[in-house]
Amino acid sequence: MRKTIIIGSISVVLIMLLLPATSIADSNSAIERVEKQQEVLKIVQENISPTNWEPTCILRLLLWLRNAIIFLGILVIVNIIKGLFNISSISASK
């Protein structure tokens, strides 16, 4: 058991020594990625507020209307299914 722990720790130390010591911030590709991210961030910040205002209150009302229609449709389907179960239980008891 001690032998495996010693061999394992020595192998971990050797692997750590063999790994490259340069950080990712020093590599050219990381610097390029950071520059591209900054460019994209600038573009997003410029486009965050739309120049043409859409009628948001009308869109919101249309969404509420759509949700109300979906909700009422679900209620109608539930009532129909409920009615089917009530009819079958009434006819079975007679």
Q: pLDDT (tens digit, 0 to 9) for every residue of the chain, 94 residues total?
A: 788 888 888 888 878 777 766 555 566 677 788 889 999 988 888 877 666 666 778 888 999 999 999 999 999 999 988 888 877 666 555 5
> Residue 75 carries which side chain, given as an amino acid letter?
L
Residue that is written with structure tokens 């590599």 in the block: 27
Q: Is the pTM of this model over 0.75?
A: no
CA dihedral 50, 55, 58, 60 (to 10 degrees): 20
